[in-house]
Structure 1
Amino acid sequence: MAEATTTGAPEVKAVPDTVTAAFEDFMEAFEAFKDVNDRRLGEIEQKLTADVVTRDKMERINRAMDDQKAVIDQLVLKKARPALGGRAEISDDMTEHKAAFDAYVRRGEEGGLRELDVKAMNAGVGGDGGYLVPPETDTEIGRRMSHVSPMRALSSVRTVSSAVLKKPFAISGPATGWVAETAARPQTGAPQLSELSFPTMELYAMPAATQGLLDDAAVDIEAWLAGEVDMVFAEQEGDAFIRGDGVNKPKGFLAYDAVADSGWSWGSLGYLATGAAGGFASSGPSDVLINAVYALKAGHRQNATFLMNRKTQGEIRKFKDADGNYLWRPPASAGQAATLMGFPVAEGEEMPDIAANALSIAIGDFRSGYLVVDRTGIRVLRDPYSAKPYVLFYTTKRVGGGVQNFEAIKLVKFSAS
């Protein structure tokens, strides 16, 4: 019989002071979630339907878990940011560049950076195109972006000095065979080669500062600039790596042709259908996840990671195996990933929600399957004229990306076939 009164879901508490406290709240919510979901499954078994009170309570707990996980992610991200300029070993050249860049940002003095460019014989660098940020600032921006963008953290990252990276790839591999020790070696067939092209596109941000902020010697200008651009860069490129159309931006893996895995061929990504449009199959809903895992070759499967958004992950939290064990398991500690059937789960909010024909789940060896291409350097152009009395900092980086191995990533499609 249904409960007469409803016990509310665990409330999302005020932001905890420590990552440990936030993680403890998350684990408490997960234990409550399991209790309510077990009750829901028992009601379905007895009455063929779950009580609406039980369903509502479970969904509230599910949402609370998502909110608490977001708090943990923010705390871990804040903790991961190291202080700029705190490195023990900084070369004279780096110190010189840092001082010249600080003078440029604060007062618009270009002389020091121009001299450094002449020393380095950089071509096409100047006030009209901006100046490169110091290497340590570039590194810290890249590190923080890896914490924010799941695809950058999962994928291979290649740094280049040209506008386009062209990569030959052997589709079939070299031909081989067995021969006796003294037998003639017949000529083998040539491997099938495919050339993949990864152009870099320009990503920009334009933070603004008052002259008073720039004149304040206590303000770490490089840290301020990094904090202004790293998050927006990460959000923009994270979206592009997943669903970008390749026009003036990287091509996301969801923009490639997706075909049923039984008919997969090079140049497209294979998908496994759930068996129901806009949802999981009513019978054996988790079977499609198992099929997707084993659609990967063994070498890719051992390095595989699930990628989905939080709403999709909330649905999968309810699944159990034949022995009554939950397939989704919470992180072992703060800062680590949850697991699904033993494989890490990365949260990509750019992945589509569950809907008819949506490709809402991906699993793959993304380090083999997707390539991020960074062109060396982040450039800053100081503009004190366009928005007076504010000083604008037109900050650009060039980045590209695309699938480099089409058999290393599989998708789950929410369709009947």
Structure 2
Amino acid sequence: MSLFERLARVHEERGRAVEELRALAGATEGREPTAYETQVEQRLTKAIADGDAQIRELLAEGQRAQAAAEVADRAHPAGPAGEDRGLTSQMDERLCGLLDGEVRSAEFTLAESRNLNRTEDPDVKKRDVYGRLFEYIRDLSSVMTAGAEILRTESGEDYYWPKVTAYSAAALVGEGQTIPASEPKFGQHVRISARKYGLTIRATYEILADANFDLASFLVRQAGPGFADGFNRLFLTGKGNAENEPQGLFSHGQVGKTLAASTAITADELIDAYHSMQSQYRAGASWLMHDLTAAILRKLKDNDGRYLWQPSLQVGQPDMLLGKPVYTDTAVPQIGTGAKFIAFADLSRGYLIRFAGPLRIDRSEHVDFDKDIVAWRFLQRMDGIVTDDRAIRLVQAADA
């Protein structure tokens, strides 16, 4: 079965579970569900969450397959008469040198653009090591997927970003009258640093000597998700400078709605959270929450009996809640006493991620010399900060 067919099947099964859950919610409205109905509800909720996870895994599998194919094409391109032309990318030559021991350390950069937002260059081809690694990081990070602004700087000195407190506004001007000045107002600049993060991948000599697979692509596929998971958790819940971490979205965002209960949320409270943000920010806002929170919100209805949650009809596109995209992530806090567990945010205006300097890869045969193991160390500097408090609104459960 092809990847597309598997995606379509999972999406169809997930859609049926959503409709069954909605039918069950309608049948039990106004009364307590029976024990059997509760079991059915739990089964359907789990099926929907599992479907979401499978869809993400299948989409990631497709991206990995595409990356591996592109690496293989570059590594062994056939010439006009079948002659192997060798590598076409200097980046890949250096990566292969790291694999066979000719190179001990190398730095890789993405030279195409200073800004790494998907919207700026939608046709990134994973042309080099940094590009392929960054694709994994971006696609597996919910904060980045939801639209956070991404900046790349050549060096790692502290970077100061203006914090806007008011924007320019036009005014009606009569004929011959002076055009009034209107300038944006800036608060105190916020400092974004360059914190170092790394991971190490080890392999035995036998694997290197006998490998019949694309080792370069394998290393990138391992490092990419590893960085993505580590970075994304910090973008969500990092403590900030006090703990030498990025400013997490849920640690530094502003609370827009506090619930009346500690373990439940109503449709009216969710609507209140939506309107706690100014209209000019709502235009580009999206929801970010844990998968289990999403399972709860799928059953909420408005006062007219209409579901607030609208499942996506297109594979790979996010569901909609109150007309805004929903992104789920298991690193987001779950509902509980005092927990900030839902974010409604325009991350393109409210959160900045910085990648500083090149990706550095080092090779060593000495780390586990007595075990005949080769190690590759991946290092990257990055940071994340909240840049506009008005663009982020959190939902917080009651303290008791």
Q: TM-score, normalised by structure 2?
A: 0.82
Of 149, 153, 168, 2:141 maps to 149
> Equivalent residue of 2:244, what SS?
coil
Quote the offset at 1:198 in angstroms. 0.8
**2:191 counterpart residue number:** 197
Partners in 2 of 1:187 and 1:71 — Cα distance?
A: 54
Partners in 2 of 1:185 and 1:333 — Cα distance?
A: 48
Quote the offset at 1:327 in angstroms. 1.2
Contact kept? 1:165, 1:373, Cα under 8 Å = no
Deviations 1:360-379 (A, max 9, x none): 11101111111110123211
Quote the offset at 1:100 in angstroms. 3.1
- The equivalences for 1:218-233 within 5 A come to 218-233=212-227
Q: Across the two proteins, how many residue pairs are aligned to each other?
A: 364
Q: Label 1:356 to 1:98 Cα distance change in 2 as closer, same or farther (>3 A).
A: same
Deviations 1:51-81 (A, max 9, x none): 2221221112111211122111101111123
Segment drifting more, 166-175 vs 138-147: 166-175
Partners in 2 of 1:240 and 1:23 — Cα distance?
A: 30
Gaps of 5+ in 1: 1-14, 111-126, 259-268
Contact kept? 2:165, 2:186, Cα under 8 Å = yes
> Equivalent residue of 1:386, what SS?
strand
- The equivalences for 1:355-370 within 5 A come to 355-370=336-351
Paired residue type of 1:254: F
Q: Label 1:184 to 1:139 Cα distance change in 2 as closer, same or farther (>3 A).
A: closer
Residue 254 in structure 1 maps to residue 258 in structure 2: no
**1:117 counterpart residue number:** none
Quote the offset at 1:248 in angstroms. 3.3
**2:320 counterpart residue number:** 339
Partners in 1 of 2:250 and 2:181 — Cα distance?
A: 40
Residue 377 in structure 1 maps to residue 358 in structure 2: yes
Of 3, 9, 12, 1:24 maps to 12
Partners in 1 of 2:287 and 2:190 — Cα distance?
A: 25
**1:390 counterpart residue number:** 373
Segment drifting more, 169-178 vs 399-408: 169-178
Partners in 2 of 1:134 and 1:199 — Cα distance?
A: 19
Deviations 1:388-414 (A, max 9, x none): 311011111111101011100101111
Q: Label 1:134 to 1:213 Cα distance change in 2 as closer, same or farther (>3 A).
A: farther
**1:49 counterpart residue number:** 32
Contact kept? 2:72, 2:214, Cα under 8 Å = no
Tell which structure's C-alpha radius of gyration is larger.
Answer: 1
Q: Label 1:374 to 1:189 Cα distance change in 2 as closer, same or farther (>3 A).
A: closer
**2:49 counterpart residue number:** 66
Partners in 1 of 2:320 and 2:180 — Cα distance?
A: 49
Contact kept? 1:240, 1:251, Cα under 8 Å = yes
Of 161, 164, 186, 1:167 maps to 161
- Paired-residue identity, %: 22
> Equivalent residue of 1:321, what SS?
coil
Q: Label 1:339 to 1:93 Cα distance change in 2 as closer, same or farther (>3 A).
A: same
Q: Label 1:314 to 1:386 Cα distance change in 2 as closer, same or farther (>3 A).
A: same
Paired residue type of 1:131: A
- The equivalences for 1:213-362 within 5 A come to 213-216=207-210, 218-246=212-240, 247-256=243-252, 269-280=254-265, 285-362=266-343
**1:132 counterpart residue number:** 107
Q: TM-score, normalised by structure 1?
A: 0.79
- The equivalences for 1:32-111 within 5 A come to 32-41=20-29, 45=30, 48-81=31-64, 82-83=66-67, 84-85=70-71, 95-106=89-100, 108-110=101-103
Contact kept? 1:175, 1:191, Cα under 8 Å = no
Partners in 1 of 2:335 and 2:359 — Cα distance?
A: 37
Q: Label 1:400 to 1:192 Cα distance change in 2 as closer, same or farther (>3 A).
A: closer
Gaps of 5+ in 2: 78-85, 111-127
Q: Label 1:184 to 1:61 Cα distance change in 2 as closer, same or farther (>3 A).
A: closer
> Equivalent residue of 1:362, what SS?
strand
